[in-house]
Amino acid sequence: PSTIHRTDYTPPPFLIDTIELEFELEAERTTVTSKMQLRRNPQAAYCPELQLSGEALQLISLRLDGVACTNRQIDEAGLTVYDVPDAFELTIVNACEPASNTSLMGLYLSNGHFFTQCEAQGFRKITYFLDRPDVMARYTVILRANKAAYPILLSNGNLIEAGDLPNGKHYAKWHDPFAKPSYLFALVAGQLVALEERIITHSGAQKLLQVWVEAHDLDKTHHAMDALIHAIHWDEARFGLELDLERFMIVAVSDFNMGAMENKGLNIFNTKYVLANPQTATDSDYANIEAVVGHEYFHNWTGNRVTCRDWFQLSLKEGLTVFRDQEFSADMAAAGAVNAAAARASQRIENVRILQQVQFAEDAGPMAHPVRPESYVEINNFYTATVYEKGAEVVRMYQTLLGRDGFRQGMDLYFQRHDGQAVSCDDFRQAMAEANQRDLAQFEHWYSQLGTPYVLVRSQYDEAARTYTVTLAQHYKPVLNAPYTASAPLLIPFAIGLVDANGQDLALQLAGEGAPGTATRVLELNQAEQTFRFINVQTQPVPSLLRDFSAPVIVEYDYTDDELIFLLAHDSDPFNRWAAGQRLVTRTLLALARQAERTQLTGNQLNQSIIDAFGRILRDETLTPAFREQVLTLPTEIYLAEQMDQADPAAVHTARQYLRTQLANALSHDWSTIYARHQTPGPYQPTPADMGQRALKNLALSYLSNSKQSAHALHLAQTQYDRADNMSDRSAALAALIHLGGQPAQAALADFYQRFENEPLAIDKWFALQATQQRAEMDLIKLVRTLMHHPAFTLKNPNRVRALIFSFISGNPAQFHATNGSGYALWVEQVLALDTLNPQLAARLARLLERWRKFTPALREQMHEALETVLASVHSKDVREIIDKALI
* CA 600 to the chain's CA centroid: 38
Stretch of 253-261, 422-430, 557-565, 730-738 lying at the interface with ligand B3K (CB under 6 A): 253-261
Q: Which C-beta is closer to ligand B3K: that of 380 or that of 399? A: 380
Residue 124 engages ligand B3K in binding (rule: CB under 6 A): no
Query: Residue 510 gets which letter from DSSP?
Result: B
| Residue with smaller CB distance to ligand B3K, 256 or 639 | 256
Residue 386 beta carbon to Zn ion: minimum distance, rounded to whole angstroms: 14
Q: Which residue lies nearer to ligand B3K by CB, 613 or 841?
A: 841
Task: Please identify, among the stretches 169-177, 317-325, 432-440, 786-794, the one whose residues bind Zn ion according to the rule CB under 5 A.
Answer: 317-325
For 439, other C-beta atoms within 10 Å of its C-beta total: 8
For strands 206-213 and 247-253, give the pairing: parallel
Q: Indicate the residue among 369 and 730 with the shorter CB distance to ligand B3K.
A: 369
Residue 258 contact, options ligand B3K, Zn ion, none, Cβ 5-8 Å cut-off depending on partner type: ligand B3K
Q: Are 65 and 800 in contact (CB under 8 A)?
A: no
Of 260 and 696, nearer to ligand B3K (C-beta) is: 260
Which residue, 321 or 381, has its beta carbon nearer to Zn ion?
321
Query: Does 843 engage in binding with ligand B3K (CB under 6 A)?
Result: no
* Residue whose C-alpha is closest to residue 160's, from 171, 172, 145: 172
Taking the complex as a whole, how short is the minimal distance between the CB of residue 325 and ligand B3K, in angstroms? 9
Q: Which is nearer to ligand B3K, 298 or 443 (CB)?
A: 298
Residue 751 beta carbon to Zn ion: minimum distance, rounded to whole angstroms: 38
- Residue 383, binding choice from ligand B3K, Zn ion, none, Cβ under 5 to 8 Å by partner class: ligand B3K
Catalytic site residue 296?
Answer: yes
Q: Which one-letter DSSP state was computed for residue 251?
A: E
Length of the chain equals 888
CB of 321 vs Zn ion, minimal distance in Å: 5
Q: Which residue in 234, 229, 189 sits closest to 212, CA to CA?
A: 189
Question: What's the min distance (Å) between Cβ of 720 and Zn ion?
Answer: 37
Candidate list 55, 214, 290, 296, residue with the active-site label = 296
Which of 277, 81, 77, 260 minimizes the C-alpha distance to 186?
260
The residue count for binding ligand B3K (CB under 6 A) is 12
Integer Cα distance of 555 and 549 in angstroms: 10
Q: Taking CB under 6 A as the criterion, which residues in 80-119 touch ligand B3K?
A: 119
| Gyration radius of the chain over CA positions | 28
- Residue 505 partner contact from ligand B3K, Zn ion, none using kind-dependent CB cut-offs of 5 to 8 Å: none
Q: Does 380 bind ligand B3K (CB under 6 A)?
A: yes
Q: State which of residues 84, 120, 733, 843 lies at the interface with ligand B3K (CB under 6 A).
A: 120
Q: Fill in the DSSP letter of residue 647.
A: B
Instruction: Give the C-alpha distances (Å, rounded to integers) separating 499 from 101, 468, 525.
Output: 60, 12, 21
Of 235-243, 312-320, 435-443, 778-786, which segment contacts Zn ion by CB under 5 A?
312-320
H or E, element range at 696: helix 688-705
CA 16, 20, 21: angle at the middle one, nearest 5?
115
Question: Cβ closer to Zn ion: 260 or 846?
Answer: 260
DSSP annotation string for 369-406? --SS-SEES-GGGG--HIIIIIHHHHHHHHHHHHHHHH
**Taking CB under 6 A as the rule, does residue 295 contact ligand B3K?**
yes
| Cα distance between residue 261 and residue 267, in whole Å | 6
Left, alpha or beta for 589 (phi > 0: left; psi -120 to 50: alpha)?
A: alpha
**Is residue 255 near ligand B3K by the rule CB under 6 A?**
no
Instruction: Name which of 316 and 883 has its Cβ closer to Zn ion.
Output: 316
Nearer to Zn ion, 262 or 764 (CB): 262
The total of other beta-carbon atoms located within 10 Å of residue 166's CB is 5
Among 55, 255, 262, 290, binds ligand B3K (CB under 6 A): 262
Q: Which of Zn ion, ligand B3K, none binds 380 (CB below 5-8 Å, type-dependent)?
A: ligand B3K
Minimum distance between the CB of residue 391 and ligand B3K, rounded to whole angstroms?
11
Interface map 445-484 toward Zn ion (x if CB under 5 A): ----------------------------------------
Going by C-alpha positions, the residue among 354, 361, 391, 389 that lies closest to residue 630 is: 354
55, 296, 350, 637: which one contacts ligand B3K (CB under 6 A)?
296
Site string for ligand B3K, 381-400 (x = CB under 6 A): --x-----------------
Q: How far apart are CA 430 and CA 437, in angstroms?
A: 10
Per DSSP, the residues of 613-651 read HHHHHHH-TTS-HHHHHHHHSPPPHHHHHHHSSSB-HHH
Q: Look at residue 131 and give the partner it binds from Zn ion, ligand B3K, none, a contact being a CB closer than 5 to 8 Å depending on partner kind.
A: none
Binding residue (CB under 6 A) for ligand B3K from 32, 79, 188, 261: 261
Interface with Zn ion: number of residues (CB under 5 A) = 2
Residue 154 CB coordination number (10 Å): 26
Spatial distance between the Cα atoms of 761 and 252, rounded to a whole number of angstroms: 12
Q: Of all residues in the chain, what percent are helix, strand and coil, respectively (each to 5)?
A: 45, 20, 30
| Alpha-helical segments (H) within 41-116 | none
Stretch that binds ligand B3K, among 293-301, 331-339, 705-713, 737-745 (CB under 6 A): 293-301
285 contact choice in ligand B3K, Zn ion, none (CB below 5 to 8 Å, kind-dependent): none
Minimum distance of Zn ion from residue 316's CB (angstroms): 11
Query: Element (H or E) spanning 417, and its range?
Result: helix 391-418
Q: Which residues pair with 498 in a beta bridge?
A: 543
648 makes contact, choosing from Zn ion, ligand B3K, none, with CB < 5 to 8 Å by partner type, with none
CB nearer to Zn ion: pick between 290 and 318? 318
629 interface partner picked from Zn ion, ligand B3K, none, CB below 5 to 8 A per type: none
- Strand 193-200 and strand 206-213: pairing? antiparallel
Give 358's DSSP letter: I
Q: Is 275 helix (H, G, I), strand (E, B) or coil?
A: coil
Cα separation, 888 vs 886, whole angstroms: 6
Of 318, 325, 331, 637, the one binding ligand B3K (CB under 6 A) is: 318
In what helix (H) or strand (E) does residue 447 lie, and over which residues does it extend?
helix 445-448
For residue 258, state whether it binds ligand B3K (rule: CB under 6 A).
yes
By annotation, the residues acting in catalysis are 296
| Site residues, ligand B3K (CB under 6 A) | 119-120, 258, 260-262, 295-296, 299, 318, 380, 383
